[in-house]
C-alpha cells in the first residue's frame, strides 16, 4: 500500500497547488496563534476548497474550544480533525461527536516508554507520532525536530498512524525504512522560512516518498 503523505501548515495557493500536483493525500491547515503557520479560518476556506478535489483536508488545532471547532466545521468543512495539544481521550471523543469528523491525535515521543500514550489514545481514529518538544518550546509541534525512529521497532499501533517530526526530502527514505510508517506528515521540512512553504521542496518530498514505495515494492516482489 502506498505511503500516505500529509503536507501541513499550508498558507497560500501556490503551496496548495504544489501539494496537489505532487500527489499528497492530505493537506493541513494550522489554527494555532503561536505557530508561524497559523492561518485564519476565513483565509483557509478558499484554500481548502481549492484542495478538496485532490486531497483530504485536515484542520489542526491545539486545545481548541468548541467555538473555534464549530467555526472550522462550518467554514472549512474538513475531512479530518487533528488535535495537537494535551487533549484527553474524553476530549478526543467529544471533538469527534461535536464535529462529526474522524479525529487524529498527536502523540509526543522521545523514548520508547512514551509509546504507552498511543494505547492511551486508542479512542482516536488515527495517531500522529511526533517528536516531543524540548523544554521551553512555545508550540507542541512543527519544531523541525526528529525523534529516534528506532524506538518504533516492533511497534504495533492500535490505530492507523503517521510519522512526523523533522522530516525532509533528504531523510524521508531513511525515516520510512527505520520506522516502517504507513504515513508521513511534513511541515517545516518543506519550508524556505518558518511558515513559508517551498513548492520545490514539497514536490521533492512527495517524490522521495514515492521513490521509496517503488523500491519497497521491487524488494518485496
Per domain, the residue ranges of the chain are 4-220
- pLDDT over 90 percentage in the chain: 86
| Averaged pLDDT for residues 102-116 | 95
pLDDT digits 0-9 by tens, 74-104: 999 999 999 999 999 999 999 999 999 999 9
pLDDT digits 0-9 by tens, 181-194: 999 999 999 999 99
Q: Does the annotation count 8 as an active-site position?
A: yes
Q: Is the pLDDT of residue 216 over 90?
A: no
- Annotated catalytic residue, options 114, 125, 130, 213: 130
Write out the three cell numbers for 17: 497547488
Extract the runs of DSSP E, i.e. beta strands, from 132-204.
Answer: 161-164, 183-186, 191-193, 196-197
Candidates 165, 184, 162; CA nearest to 173 is 184
| CATH class of residue range 4-220 | alpha beta
Euclidean distance between CA atoms 104 and 4, whole angstroms? 14
Q: Does the annotation count 130 as an active-site position?
A: yes
Amino acid at each position: 500500500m502506498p505511503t500516505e503523505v500529509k503536507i501541513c501548515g499550508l498558507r497560500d495557493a501556490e503551496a496548495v497547488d504544489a501539494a496537489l500536483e505532487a500527489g499528497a493525500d492530505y493537506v493541513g491547515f494550522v489554527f494555532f496563534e503561536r505557530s508561524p503557520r497559523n492561518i485564519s479560518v476565513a483565509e483557509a476556506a478558499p484554500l481548502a476548497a481549492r484542495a478538496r478535489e485532490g486531497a483530504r483536508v485536515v484542520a489542526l488545532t491545539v486545545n481548541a474550544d468548541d467555538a473555534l471547532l464549530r467555526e472550522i466545521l462550518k467554514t472549512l468543512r474538513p475531512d479530518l480533525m487533528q488535535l495537537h495539544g494535551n487533549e484527553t481521550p474524553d476530549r478526543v471523543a467529544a471533538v469527534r461527536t461535536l464535529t462529526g469528523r474522524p479525529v487524529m491525535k498527536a502523540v509526543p515521543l522521545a523514548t520508547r516508554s512514551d509509546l504507552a500514550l498511543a494505547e492511551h489514545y486508542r479512542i482516536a481514529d488515527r495517531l500522529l507520532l511526533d517528536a516531543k518538544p524540548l523544554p521551553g518550546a512555545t508550540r507542541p509541534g512543527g519544531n523541525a525536530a526528529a525523534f529516534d525512529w528506532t524506538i518504533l521497532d516492533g511497534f504495533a499501533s492500535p490505530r492507523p498512524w503517521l510519522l512526523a517530526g523533522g522530516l525532509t526530502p533528504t531523510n524521508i527514505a531513511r525515516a520510512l525504512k527505520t520506522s516502517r510508517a504507513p504515513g508521513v506528515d511534513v511541515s517545516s521540512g518543506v519550508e524556505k522560512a518558518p511558515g513559508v512553504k517551498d513548492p520545490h521542496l514539497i514536490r521533492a518530498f512527495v517524490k522521495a516518498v514515492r521513490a521509496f514505495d517503488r523500491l519497497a515494492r521491487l524488494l518485496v516482489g
